[in-house]
Amino acid sequence: MKYVHAPDLKERMTDIAKTLDMFHLEIDRIECLRSFGSSSRITIARCHALGKLMQKAMKTNAFYAIEFLERFEKLSRKEQDKVIIHELMHIPKSFGGGFRHHDYVCERNVELLYQKFENLKKSRRFFN
């Protein structure tokens, strides 16, 4: 596996988080990376966290990394935005190193947030 920092995806992630008022996210403690060489045939992206034990051991706060696999690049911009929203939704309001599960991070909720994102982008363009 090879990992490469993805500043372009971090910029998109930041825009999405700010537009959707995801104020609980500590953007400076979330990193985006592209990965190459995964044998996964289904996974598009994954959210990783520095768990509580490691936070204590390292004397640091929570940190999240969103990994975008090669399949992500083949998606349309719209579908990529939905994937980014999906991964951000996994990060709980506590921003403590845990995860929100797929009972909350589901297609319906992702679609609702994506529609909100699109509407806010349109209104932002209208008022600028």
Say whether pTM exceeds 0.75. Answer: yes
Number of domains in the chain: 1
**With 90 as the cut, is the pLDDT of residue 76 above it?**
yes
pLDDT of residue 128: 54
- pLDDT number for residue 127: 61
Tens digits of per-residue pLDDT, 16-63? 999 999 999 999 999 999 999 998 889 999 999 999 999 999 999 999
Pick from 48, 68, 52: nearest CA to 60: 52
Can you give the pLDDT at residue 41? 87
Say which CATH number the domain at 101 has. 3.30.2010.10
- For the record, the structure tokens of 70 come out as 């090669």
Q: Residues 96-126: pLDDT tens digits?
A: 999 999 999 999 999 999 999 999 988 876 6
Q: Which residues span the domain enclosing 16?
A: 2-127
Crossing angle of the two packed helices 107-127 and 7-19, in degrees rounded to 10: 80
pLDDT of residue 96: 93
**What's the confidence (pLDDT) of residue 126?**
63
- Cα gap 45→126, rounded to integer Å: 32
Q: Is 102 left (phi over 0), alpha (psi -120 to 50) or beta?
A: alpha
Q: Please write the tens of the pLDDT for every residue from 85-94.
A: 999 999 999 9
Average pLDDT, the chain: 94
Q: How many CB atoms lie within 10 A of CB 127?
A: 6
The CA-based dihedral angle spanning residues 106, 110, 112, 117, taken in that order and rounded to the nearest 10 degrees? 170
